Amino acid sequence: MSYFEEDFEKVRRRDEERRRKRRKDEDAFEIVEEVFDRPTLMALYDLINDGIIDRMFGVVATGKEARVYWAKNSRGDDLAVKIFLKETSDFRRSIIKYIDGDPRFARMRRDIRHIIKIWCSKEFKNLKEAFAAGVRVPEPIAFRENILVMKFIGDDGVPAPLIREVPPGDPEEAFGTVLEYIKRAVLKAKIVHADLSEYNIMNWNEELYIIDWGSAVHITHPQALEFLRRDISNIVNFFRKLGIETPSVEDIYKRLIREIP
């Protein structure tokens, strides 16, 4: 049984059990709840039925807001499946068990889910636009609810390292490449990444991939230029630490925004 099938089976059995006992027994199913909740399982199931995902493997990264899984489609291509988590904080985790299953709070659960779905669709859209503008990003494939499917960057289920772990062999050239990607995003896709740093750039055999586009904003966003300056500053600081000389943040920033029509 695949990872996914196992979980699905657990949830199915849980429902059966619930019907039989006609009462809730939360503790026994805590582990399944921890992994995927029902709407997430349903969304995964849809993605499988639609032929987008064939098999799910293990988790490759666990962050504050999302978990990333390695998966494959039926052609055997590697996929990255980013699942946005609903219970992102200990606090929410601790309160959720008091509102979960209480019909008076069903609405609140739906609202949280809806916000996460919007966030997920936003990352998908940003990835599409960046990709179309010629920025090297994992090609987005599909999204459903809180699940984003994209190309897997790495080999045999092992994600490529971040540049903070494996810095580019030619920092000078890599710096130019990242600046070019920032420029294409701003001038062609009209978006600012807004969370750009050495933590969101992967180094796959010296090809740099910009990931994690959930926070990106349109250049008309009131804080877009502030975010752009911060992105540039993060990149300049990182590459300077690698020993290269760069123009000042201010120079790069000004030169770029002069080009915005």
Ligand X SMILES: Nc1ncnc2c1ncn2[C@@H]1O[C@H](COP(=O)(O)OP(=O)(O)O)[C@@H](O)[C@H]1O
Positions marked active-site: 195, 212
Alpha helices in 75-170 (DSSP H): 90-99, 106-132
CA geometry: angle 237, 130, 168, nearest 5 deg: 40
77 scored as a contact of ligand X (CB under 6 A) = no
CB of 158 to Mg ion, least distance (A): 17
Q: How far is the CB of 231 from ligand X (least distance, A)?
A: 15
Q: Does residue 166 interact with ligand X by CB under 6 A?
A: no
Check residue 142 and give left, alpha or beta (phi > 0: left; psi -120 to 50: alpha): beta
Q: Which does 61 bind (CB under 5 to 8 A by kind): Mg ion, ligand X, none?
A: ligand X
The DSSP H or E segment spanning 240 is: helix 224-241
> 73 CB contacts (<8 Å, ≥6 apart)?
51, 52, 53, 54, 79
Complex with ligand X: residue 82 or 136, whichever CB lies closer: 82
User: In terms of CB distance, is 159 or 172 closer to ligand X?
Assistant: 159
CB of 73 within 8 A of CB of 51?
yes
- Name 128's Cβ contacts closer than 8 Å, sequence gap at least 6: 140
Distance separating alpha carbons of residues 125 and 58, to the nearest angstrom: 26
Q: Which does 177 bind (CB under 5 to 8 A by kind): ligand X, Mg ion, none?
A: none
Size of the site for ligand X (CB under 6 A): 19
Interface pick for ligand X out of 17, 34, 63, 241 (rule CB under 6 A) = 63
- Find the shortest distance in angstroms from Cβ 137 to ligand X: 8
∠ CA 227-228-229, nearest 5°, is 90
By CB under 6 A, is residue 80 in contact with ligand X?
Answer: yes
Stretch that binds ligand X, among 11-19, 111-119, 154-162, 172-180 (CB under 6 A): 154-162
> Which of ligand X, Mg ion, none interacts with 66 (beta carbon under 5 to 8 A by kind)?
ligand X
Residue 114: CB minimum distance to ligand X, A? 19
Cα distances from 189 to residues 130, 138, 182, 218, in angstroms, run 6, 16, 10, 8
Which of Mg ion, ligand X, none has residue 65 at its interface (CB below 5 to 8 Å by kind)?
A: ligand X
Looking at 13-21, 63-71, 163-171, 173-181, which segment touches ligand X (CB under 6 A)?
A: 63-71
- Candidate residues 126, 138, 147, 168; the one interacting with ligand X per rule CB under 6 A: 138
Coil, helix or strand at residue 150: strand
Point out which residues bind ligand X (CB under 6 A): 60-61, 63, 65-66, 68, 80, 82, 138, 150-154, 159, 162, 200, 211-212
